[in-house]
Amino acid sequence: EDRIVLLHEGFLSRYRAPRRFCYTNTRVPQWHEIWTRTQIRVNSSRMIRVTQVDSEEELEDFSLWSVLFSFLKEKLNDTSIDVDLYSNKTCLKVDLVDTNTEYCIVLFRRFDPKLFLVSFLGLLLFFCGDMLSRSQLFYYSAGISFGLLASLLVLVYVMSKVMPKKSPVYLLLVGGWSFSLYLLQLIFKNLREICKSYWQYLLGYLLLVGLVSFGVCYRYGPLENERSINLLSWALQLLGLLLLYSGIQIHPIALGLVVVAICTKNVDYPLRWALAVYRRVQSAKQGPSPPRLLTEEEYRLQGEVETRRALEELRSDCRSPKISAWSVVSRIQSPKRFAEFVDGASHVTPSEVSLHEQEYGLGGIFLEDQLFEEDGEEE
């Protein structure tokens, strides 16, 4: 019974006495095992205590820390221990609470959908962190979730204030993180039984804490400061990268995907910098290029477009309530023509168009005078 039992993948063994087990990993992780989990599962009909260590020497040594760790480790009848794909050896010790307790132990390797969901959640947080940091729905959801998780620690703190100073329970409550972690572990491990037996109290507690958390979030409101929004966005992106890295079991592939995600999200910045540098180099080689002159047709079209736009701006200004219509009408010679222009009529009359054609058109007086002046200068 004192010897260490070596575990092999896929073999189920049954025992009735305390044992020490070790698993030596000889396989090299492959690329298709990125979401593969290796677990050692111990199942029993009665309560047992399972202690995990990293080497055989720790199984032999007796220390106060190992006793404290085994005390804080909950006694379970069905527990699973995750084995890192890169760990050389994983050891554990099974202690029986009751004699003649039968338990079985098996080591298996399988695809874990939880790891895939963690990686997908990491990608979602990284690429949608900017949008989520500005979303009110995410703000209230995250606030209520954080309030539900933090309420357990607040409950421990309130109990420590209520307890007498000389009470041994007070020493446990203020005794550090160990008791709090142990309490949280008990709650999460027995969450299914709590939901089944005490669902009324659990529902009331969730509603009360949820409403209080919503009230606090509503009191302070969503983030409006741009720097605060940027800090939340960076925190979400960093959390997404950590989830992406932790969800993939092959470390080089995980690191490569993190780098690819960062480059994909920020690919536009290097392209802009490279394009700006290329343009500067090309402009330095070619020198300053002379400005392009407009052709006669482009000059005429630009004049028509700008004149039409200026007339529309003038009409809109005349319709504005800021301008006094009576003051404008009293200053102009033809109020009727001004009113027609504001309603959309042309700004020139047919007689003015005919006079302009006679003076500046082909065969006009002004054009003939210019031609005669140029001929006299040549003579």
Structural domain contains residue 355: no
Q: How many angstroms separate the CA atoms of 51 and 67, rounded?
A: 10
The reply to whether 129 and 147 lie within a common domain is: yes
Q: How many domains does the chain have?
A: 2
In the structure encoding, which two tokens stand for residue 302, read together? 């630009």
Closest CA to 11 of 26, 21, 1: 21
Mean pLDDT of 171-197: 60
Co-location of 205 and 146 in the same domain: yes
What's the chain look like in SS3? CCCEEECCECCEEEECCCEEEEEECCCCCCHHHCCEEEEEEEEEEEEEEEEEECCHHHHHCCCHHHHHHHHHCCCEEEEEEEECCCCCEEEEEEEECCCCCCEEEEEEEEECHHHHHHHHHHHHHHHCHHHHHCCHHHHHHHHHHHHHHHHHHHHHHHHHHHCCCCCHHHHHHCCCHHHHHHHHHHHHHCHHHHHHHCHHHHHHHHHHHHHHHHHHHHHHCCCCCHHHHHHHHHHHHHHHHHHHHHHCCCHHHHHHHHHHHHHHHCCHHHHHHHHHHHHHHHHHHHCCCCCCCCCHHHHHHHHHHHHHHHHHHHHHHHHCCCCCHHHHHHHCCCHHHHHHHHHCCCCCCHHHHHHHHHHHCCCCHHHHHHHHHHHHHHC
In a domain, 122, yes or no: yes
Same-domain check for residues 133 and 242: yes
Same domain for 127 and 40, yes or no, is no
- Residue that is last in its domain, among 76, 111, 146: 111
Range with the poorest average pLDDT among 57-71, 112-126, 156-170: 57-71
Q: What's CA 220's distance to the chain center, in Å?
A: 22
In a domain, 180, yes or no: yes
> For 7-25, how does the pLDDT look when each residue is reduced to its tens digit (9 = 90+)?
888 888 888 888 888 888 8
Residues 20 and 54 in one domain: yes
Statement to judge: residues 129 and 232 lie in one domain: yes
pLDDT surpassing 80 at residue 256: yes
Which residue range(s) make up the domain with 90?
5-27+34-59+67-111
CATH number for the domain that contains residue 92:
2.60.120
Q: Flag whether 100 is in a domain.
A: yes
Determine the pLDDT at residue 238.
Answer: 92
List the single range of 12-21, 178-187, 245-254, 274-283 with lowest mean pLDDT. Answer: 178-187
Q: Residue 182: what pLDDT?
A: 58
pLDDT, one tens digit per residue, over 125-151 is 888 888 888 888 888 888 888 888 777
147 and 221 assigned to the same domain: yes
The reply to whether 187 and 202 lie within a common domain is yes
Q: Which residues pair with 172 in a beta bridge?
A: none
- Alpha carbon distance 360, 332 (integer Å): 27
| Cβ-based neighbour number of residue 132 at 10 Å | 19
Evaluate the CA torsion angle 228, 229, 234, 235 in order and state its sign: positive
pLDDT bracket for residue 304 (50, 70, 90) = confident
Residue 77 pLDDT > 70? no
Compare 357 and 147 and report the one with higher pLDDT: 147
Same domain, 140 and 164: yes
Q: Tell me: the pLDDT tens digits for 25-35?
A: 877 777 777 88
- The residue with greater pLDDT, 290 or 336, is 336
Residue with the larger pLDDT of the pair 274 and 64: 274
- Integer angstrom CA distances of residue 332 from 45, 335, 364: 105, 6, 30
pTM: 0.55
Q: Are residues 242 and 121 in the same domain?
A: yes
Q: Is residue 147 part of a domain?
A: yes
Residue 335 lies in a domain: no
Judged against a pLDDT cut of 70, whether residue 360 lies above it is answered with no
Tell me the average pLDDT of the chain: 76
Q: Is residue 80 located within the same domain as residue 158?
A: no
Of 230, 249, 268, the last residue of a domain is: 249
* Per-residue pLDDT band at 37 (split at 50, 70, 90): confident
